Structure 1
Amino acid sequence: MTAVETGRGLLELTRPVNAVAASVLTFIGAFVAGGAIEAPIAVTTAVAATGLAVGAGNAINDYFDREIDRVNRPDRAIPRGAVSPRGALVFSGLLFAGAVVLAITLPPLAIGIATVNLLALVAYTEVFKGLPGLGNALVAYLVGSTFLFGAAAVDAAGDIGPAVVLFVLAGIATLTREIIKDVEDIEGDRKEELNTLPIAIGERRALAIAAGLLVTAVVASPLPYLEGNFGIAYLLLVVPADAVMLVAAYESFENPTVGQSHLKYGMFLAALSFIVGRVALEVQFQPPGL
């Protein structure tokens, strides 16, 4: 393998799209807390720490999952030989170290969240992934907690309350997607003797649980507007986002790959609604002439 191919493989290990998406969620958490402008350095640090931590978690996940990926994802960096297992492990450690160096400069609550999350990222594959539902729940927590981390990073500059609501909504939506992904990966997981939720209770029952969770999140999605945390623009975007996610859940019964992919699009649209909804609220209450 050439240096270019290895470099591309290392980048792939981080799942750059996922790392950037998680960083954006951290920014949104700070933004809805009202501290993005008041504490720009803290926000930038939290965003960078999130990106490094997620990249590290994805890399170490690929290290532990390398045998499963030979069945489910043979095109990934380790199975195809672009990166050695040892190289992936060292790379993950460097990214984790960078995330820690950045995180320790933040307020105590943010450091606490970062500590829990970093330990969870390391333990996920070896401890939680093969436990029915628990691995899914851990991933859901990690995604939702990016909102909390961003809000905690600005500390007294903002209000963490709105981020808590987003944490719950994002966590439920992510749990839905993770269950659907387990249905998609059921063949490789069986060969590795993992006891994921679809294997433990059956694919249709797992998908039914996922759909029920998503309906709960959709029903609860107007809460940020009703509580006065977001403006009306939030509803104008979150309603179509809800529709996309509900359709995706329905599609997953026939094609889990398509369903979980479309669900991701709906989640991104929902994340956008958080930003737009907060901006709309700020504009609504801004004094005339300012």
Structure 2
Amino acid sequence: MSFKSYMQLVRIHNVIGAALGAIMGFLVSSKWQILEAKQLLLSALVVGLIAAGGYVINDVYDVEIDKINKPYRPIPSGSISINQARTLAIILFAVGVLASIWLNVFAIIVALLTVIGLVYYAKELKRTGLYGNLLVATTTALSIFYGGLAFFSDDWLSRIAIPTFYSFFLTLTREIVKGIEDYNGDLANNVRTLATTLGINKSWKIVKALLALLLIVSPIPFFIGFNFIYIVILIVAFIPFTILSIVQKNTIEGASKARSYLKISAIAGIIAFLLGSLPFFRG
């Protein structure tokens, strides 16, 4: 075992992205009241720890599938045992929930429900296809929502609703793409994704229609309060990488490329909402 293997197991780049989502949610909700540093850092910590635990427990239950789809992953490759991974997941979940105690009661409830949802997804729901996709999209969007919840002002919900919705929508699309990418292993293990039930080509058509719709509605936040930085990042990063995802061939290989592009789109979206909420750049 090695430090690198553990970083691969928790998917550290995704964990950082989730924590950034919480930071963005807090700053958007608080109108950049960065003096509330305790709540800001705690929300990012809770989200990061629980997200990491979710990735680890997912790999614990996915070991047979990963032997086909991703044999290089830490568990199927033998660099980390299932028992070690399961113990790590429990620790990450426990510390994440404990850290939420210093926020508020609603933050504790959301943290607990998210842990339950992630374990249920890894153990059962992932094999149901669309229902599993919806749960992953919900828990990912909750990263942003959680940052706003940590601030918890009178009007935090109205400010965080739009970025939370966009995160849900983009993540749902990315999950369908991942289902296409993992088609062979999922089919061999009776996992009912859209790709294994409808076929790769039809699943791709759904993905491209959803992404096209997302592109159409993406400028809306600029017209309802987000500043010009939002639209600049949209044009420079979000739109190009989303288009790159759309133009991929309707194949498993195309899904692998699209998944990488959509990660960049997601990060660009977080940055766009974050900087687009800066109050002193509004007209």
Q: Which residue of 2 aligns with 1:70?
A: 67
Q: Which residue of 2 aligns with 1:49?
A: 46
- Report if aligned partners of 1:42, 1:154 keep a CA contact under 8 Å in 2: yes
Separation (CA, whole Å) in 2 of partners of 1:183 and 1:231: 36
- Report if aligned partners of 2:228, 2:281 keep a CA contact under 8 Å in 1: no
For residues 129-151 of structure 1, what are the alpha-carbon distances to aligned partners after superposition, in whole Å with 9 as ceiling and x for unaligned?
11121111111111111111000
The root-mean-square deviation of aligned C-alpha atoms, in Å, is 1.7
Letter in 2 for 1:282: F
Greater relative contact order (CA < 8 Å, ≥ 6 in sequence): 2
Q: Point out the more displaced range, 238-247 or 142-151.
A: 238-247
DSSP-derived class of the 2:179 partner = helix
Q: Which residue of 2 aligns with 1:30?
A: 26
Taking structure 1 as the reference length, the TM-score comes to 0.91
1:82 to 79, 84, 88: 79
Q: Which residue of 2 aligns with 1:288?
A: none
Separation (CA, whole Å) in 2 of partners of 1:192 and 1:54: 25
Taking structure 2 as the reference length, the TM-score comes to 0.93
Structure 2 residue runs of 5 or longer lacking an equivalent are none
DSSP-derived class of the 2:128 partner = coil
Q: Which residue of 1 aligns with 2:197?
A: 200
Q: Which residue of 2 aligns with 1:231?
A: 227
Give matches, 1:1-290, under 5 Å. 5-34=1-30, 36-156=33-153, 159-228=156-225, 230-240=226-236, 241-251=238-248, 253-254=250-251, 255-279=254-278, 281-284=279-282
- Report if aligned partners of 1:66, 1:79 keep a CA contact under 8 Å in 2: yes
Deviation (angstroms), 1:283: 3.5
Deviation (angstroms), 1:84: 0.8
Q: Point out the more displaced range, 247-256 or 203-212.
A: 247-256
Letter in 2 for 1:171: F
Between the two proteins, what is the percent identity of the paired residues?
A: 26
Letter in 1 for 2:280: E
For residues 10-41 of structure 1, what are the alpha-carbon distances to aligned partners after superposition, in whole Å with 9 as ceiling and x for unaligned?
23211100001100000000011126414210
Separation (CA, whole Å) in 1 of partners of 2:204 and 2:90: 35
Aligned positions, number? 279
